[in-house]
Structures are given as structure tokens and as C-alpha cells.
């Protein structure tokens, strides 16, 4: 347990630009008495992805508050050091994310969280130029290969799909190859699945049908689903967030497609609201997950109940804990190595490579970084909805690295 008298962490969430100041309720020691480490968040807190981003952001704030007030086993900072968390809303727009990035860098952040994969791809060269390490909340091959200044805490979207493809082939019993279609957005994660994931699936004997493009807020995807039906798809995979998937699944149910085709998708798509809304239709929904379902992580439940009075997640909250634990650990190692006075982005990046088999909350997902692999936790387990609850149906397995 962290020593609360010597390892207090103050959370000051300062909005940038036109956003209002967010402050925690508990009284804080004066900031001047602390050694402040500035960390930035660029998140789509408004716009089409806001439903997903907002609960992740709230959990990040709660994590630091819990660390301050109670302490977290295995997660500490040097005495007197505090985290100042600066955040800004990019509205899911790359141009706004770039502007926010420059304001955060000018504010002196030594670490960043970037929610939108499109923003992460655009900011990758800027992070390298300015020597600011970051964690991308959704990663693609372009973001982490070749390794630069951006890290992840799970495999790429394509590597998720490769695990899904492996699972299909392990359970396929017909003589013909299984037919699979990817339904996704015009954005990096979906496009990467359509490129790298497709090549891998075809290499193991899967017949890939044409990619079906859908908007992030679908109003009607009947034409796309009718093509899926005409193509005789056995599986539909959706590498996108649950709000998009829910609309697709409702149309698929209306068209009678859910009774003849299996559906699955990215980790976030296997969400509580989707399962509760669809009811029996969600049975059998498949998702490769890099982190356990939230009910398997007691700390997460305790944290959200303590500060929200409810479970504030759609099911992938365990990844939030990893995002925050990695940052705190990297800052701790960097300060231990170079001292607070010399703390900067390069020191934090170098500290990331000292993180080995790191799992302070006992989630079973040990984080390790090397100069050649920035994914952090390159392993996946398949979950299937059974009895309106996602349950693991495989053991943890290494994710395929689809780019050398």
C-alpha cells in the first residue's frame, strides 16, 4: 500500500482553450508545495465517440483520486510528487487534436493519452519531433510500427481480428472455407483490419468477402447487411465502438440475419448496454479481449462504486487501469533515474522500457515494453456472450505480430 503521508498525488484536471476548469471535491495541499508532473489527455468528450470516451476519462480521474486517498498496491510515486492532469476535447476531429497537442506540449506535459486513432497517427511524427511519449487508446500498425514515441497497452486492431480468425478456424467443421466480412468505419482501425487482418485470415483459409463501410453513427445499414446476406457470410466482424455496433445489430435483427450469421467485434463492442438492449439477440456475440471483463477485476468495481455509486463502464474498464498504472510507473522510474529536476519526455520514454511483467492489480495481463514492441500486453482471450454475460472461451494466447 502506498504511504499516503509521503506519496500524495493531487489531481488537477485543467481544461485547455474554452473548456471549464474541473476540480475534485476533496481539499488539496497547495500545488506550490508539490513537485508537479504534467500529463495530458486528448479525448473526444463531445461528438460521435463521446459515449465511449467519457467513461474512460472519468475512470482515469477516479484512478488518480483513489491513488491519492487510499493508495494502490504496487503503484507509487516518489514522496512529494503529484500528477497534474491536463485535458482537452477534440470532438473526434484530427485538426482539433493537433491544436490541442501543441497547447499541451507548450504547457510542459511529459506524457500524453490520445484517444482517437486518427489523431494518434497524425501526431506520431510530432511526438517524435517534440520527444513526448504517449499512449494511444486504440492502436494500428501505423501507430506502433516502426516503434516511435507512441505506446499501447494491447495489440493492434488487426491483431485482434487475427485472434478472431484463429478462433473461427479452430471451430469450423464444414469442408468449404468459412466466409467472413468486416463491417467498419473509414478510419485507421477498420482500414487496418481490412488490410493486415484480411491478409492473415486468407492465409489460414478464410474466404474474406468485400469490406462493408458504415458511418460511425449509422441510421440505416440495410444495404450493407443485404450484401452480407447475399454473400452468404458466416461471420461478421465489427472493429469499432459499441454505439456503432448496436445500430448495426438492430438492423441485422430486423432483417433476420442474426439467426443465420455469427456476429463479433473489437473489445469495446462487447458492451453492457449492447447486451442489455439486444437481450437474446446478443447471445453468442464474440469478441477478442486483451483485458478481462470488468467483473473479473475487484479493484475496478470498488473504484467506480466508491466515486460514482455505480459501475461506470461498458465492460472494458480494466484497460483504463492499465493505462494509468503504466504512466505512474514510468514517471516513478524516470524520477528515480534522473531526478525530478531533470524529468522530461525522453526520460519517461526510456523508463517505459524498464517496465517488465508489470501487473500491480493482479489482472493477469502483465505489461512489458521493449524498443521493438510497444504493444505492452500482446495477448488475447476470446470472450463469448452466454447467459447475457461475456465469458472467456479460450485461454490467453499471444497475439500475432502482423508487421515484421
Residue 298 placed within a domain: no
The residue among 188, 156, 382 whose CA lies nearest residue 288 is 382
Q: What is the DSSP letter of 7?
A: -
For the record, the C-alpha cell of 289 comes out as 479481449
The predicted structure's pLDDT at residue 362: 87
- The string of pLDDT tens digits covering residues 321-361 is 999 999 999 999 999 999 999 999 999 999 999 999 999 88
- Distance between CA atoms of 304 and 300, rounded to whole angstroms? 6
Say if residue 175 is in the same domain as residue 284: yes
The residue among 173, 213, 217 whose CA lies nearest residue 193 is 213
Residue 48 placed within a domain: yes
**Type and span of the H or E element at 392:** strand 390-392
* Residue 235 belongs to domain spanning: 157-289+381-398
Residue 221 placed within a domain: yes
Say if residue 166 is in the same domain as residue 283: yes
The residue among 238, 247, 230, 231 whose CA lies nearest residue 286 is 238
- Distance between CA atoms of 285 and 262, rounded to whole angstroms? 7
Residue 403 placed within a domain: no
Rounded to the nearest 5°, which phi and psi values hold at 328?
A: -60, -45
Say if residue 320 is in the same domain as residue 368: yes
Tell me, what CATH number does 232's domain have? 3.40.50.2300
Instruction: Report the phi/psi class of residue 396: left, alpha or beta, with left for phi > 0 and alpha for psi in -120 to 50.
Output: beta
Say if residue 282 is in the same domain as residue 177: yes
CB 239 within 8 A of CB 193: yes
The residue among 9, 78, 139, 1 whose CA lies nearest residue 331 is 78
Say if residue 139 is in the same domain as residue 195: no
Residue 304 placed within a domain: no
- Distance between CA atoms of 83 and 328, rounded to whole angstroms? 9
Per-residue confidence in pLDDT tens, the chain, 404 aa: 444 433 444 443 344 343 333 333 334 444 457 899 999 999 999 999 998 999 999 999 999 999 989 899 899 999 999 999 999 999 999 999 999 999 999 999 999 999 999 999 999 999 999 999 999 998 999 999 999 999 999 999 999 999 999 999 999 999 999 999 999 999 999 999 999 999 999 999 999 999 999 999 999 999 999 999 999 999 999 999 999 999 999 999 999 999 999 999 999 999 999 999 999 999 999 999 999 999 999 999 999 999 999 998 999 888 889 999 999 999 999 999 999 999 999 999 999 999 999 998 888 889 999 999 999 988 999 999 999 999 999 999 999 999 86
Say if residue 39 is in the same domain as residue 125: yes
Say if residue 121 is in the same domain as residue 174: no
SS3 391: strand
Residue 64 placed within a domain: yes
What's the length of the chain? 404
Say if residue 180 is in the same domain as residue 259: yes
Say if residue 339 is in the same domain as residue 236: no
- Find cell 523508463 and name the residue: 351
The predicted structure's pLDDT at residue 30: 47
- Distance between CA atoms of 376 and 364, rounded to whole angstroms? 13
Cα→Cα distances 169→71, 179, 206, 308, Å:
45, 11, 8, 42
The predicted structure's pLDDT at residue 2: 44
User: Nearest 5 degrees, angle CA 77-CA 81-CA 87?
Assistant: 95
Burial class (CB in 10 A: 0-12, 13-18, 19+), 95: exposed
What domain count does the chain have?
2
Cα→Cα distances 50→43, 45, 115, 190, Å:
8, 5, 10, 18
Say if residue 108 is in the same domain as residue 57: yes
The predicted structure's pLDDT at residue 404: 66
- Find cell 465492460 and name the residue: 315
Say if residue 140 is in the same domain as residue 263: no
Residue 5 placed within a domain: no
The residue among 325, 9, 313, 287 whose CA lies nearest residue 151 is 325
- Find cell 459499441 and name the residue: 242
CB 59 within 8 A of CB 102: no
Say if residue 65 is in the same domain as residue 211: no
Residue 239 placed within a domain: yes
- Distance between CA atoms of 396 and 280, rounded to whole angstroms? 27
Sign, CA dihedral 350-351-353-354, equals positive
Q: What value does the CA radius of gyration of the chain take, rounded to a whole number of Å?
A: 21
- Distance between CA atoms of 205 and 203, rounded to whole angstroms? 6
Amino acid at each position: 500500500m502506498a504511504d499516503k503521508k509521503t506519496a500524495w498525488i493531487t489531481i488537477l484536471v485543467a481544461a485547455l482553450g474554452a473548456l471549464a476548469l474541473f476540480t475534485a471535491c476533496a481539499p488539496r495541499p497547495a500545488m506550490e508545495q508539490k513537485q508537479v508532473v504534467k500529463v495530458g489527455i486528448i479525448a473526444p468528450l463531445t461528438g460521435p465517440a463521446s459515449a465511449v470516451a467519457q467513461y474512460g476519462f472519468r475512470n482515469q480521474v477516479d484512478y488518480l483520486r483513489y491513488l491519492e486517498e487510499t493508495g494502490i498496491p504496487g503503484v507509487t510515486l516518489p514522496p512529494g510528487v503529484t500528477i497534474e492532469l491536463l485535458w482537452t476535447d477534440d470532438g473526434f476531429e484530427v485538426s482539433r487534436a493537433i491544436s490541442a497537442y501543441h497547447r499541451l506540449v507548450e504547457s510542459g506535459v511529459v506524457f500524453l493519452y490520445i484517444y482517437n486513432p486518427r489523431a494518434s497517427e497524425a501526431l506520431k511524427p510530432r511526438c517524435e519531433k517534440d520527444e513526448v511519449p504517449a499512449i494511444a487508446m486504440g492502436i494500428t500498425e501505423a501507430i506502433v510500427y516502426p516503434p516511435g514515441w507512441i505506446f499501447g497497452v494491447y495489440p493492434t486492431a488487426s491483431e485482434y481480428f487475427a485472434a478472431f480468425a484463429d478462433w473461427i478456424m479452430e471451430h469450423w467443421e464444414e469442408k468449404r472455407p468459412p466466409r467472413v466480412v468486416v463491417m467498419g468505419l473509414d478510419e485507421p482501425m477498420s482500414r487496418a483490419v481490412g488490410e493486415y487482418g484480411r491478409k492473415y485470415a486468407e492465409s489460414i483459409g478464410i474466404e474474406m468477402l468485400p469490406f462493408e463501410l458504415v458511418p460511425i453513427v449509422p441510421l440505416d445499414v440495410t444495404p450493407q447487411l443485404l450484401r452480407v446476406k447475399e454473400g452468404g457470410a458466416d461471420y461478421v466482424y465489427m472493429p469499432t465502438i459499441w454505439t456503432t455496433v448496436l445500430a448495426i445489430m438492430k438492423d441485422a435483427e430486423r432483417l433476420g440475419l442474426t439467426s443465420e450469421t455469427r456476429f463479433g467485434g473489437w473489445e469495446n463492442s462487447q458492451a453492457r448496454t449492447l447486451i442489455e438492449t439486444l437481450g437474446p439477440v446478443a447471445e453468442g456475440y464474440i469478441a477478442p479481449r486483451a483485458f478481462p471483463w470488468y467483473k473479473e477485476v475487484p479493484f475496478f468495481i470498488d473504484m467506480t462504486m466508491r466515486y460514482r455509486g455505480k459501475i461506470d463502464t461498458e465492460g472494458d474498464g480494466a484497460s483504463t487501469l492499465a493505462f494509468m498504472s503504466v504512466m505512474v510507473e514510468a514517471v516513478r522510474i524516470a524520477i528515480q533515474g534522473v531526478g525530478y529536476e531533470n524529468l522530461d519526455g525522453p526520460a519517461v520514454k526510456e523508463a517505459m522500457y524498464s517496465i517488465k511483467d508489470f501487473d500491480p492489480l493482479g489482472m493477469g495481463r502483465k505489461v512489458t515494453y521493449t524498443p521493438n514492441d510497444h504493444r505492452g500486453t500482446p495477448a488475447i482471450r476470446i470472450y463469448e456472450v452466454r447467459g447475457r454475460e461475456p465469458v472467456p472461451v479460450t485461454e490467453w494466447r499471444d497475439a500475432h505480430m502482423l508487421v515484421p
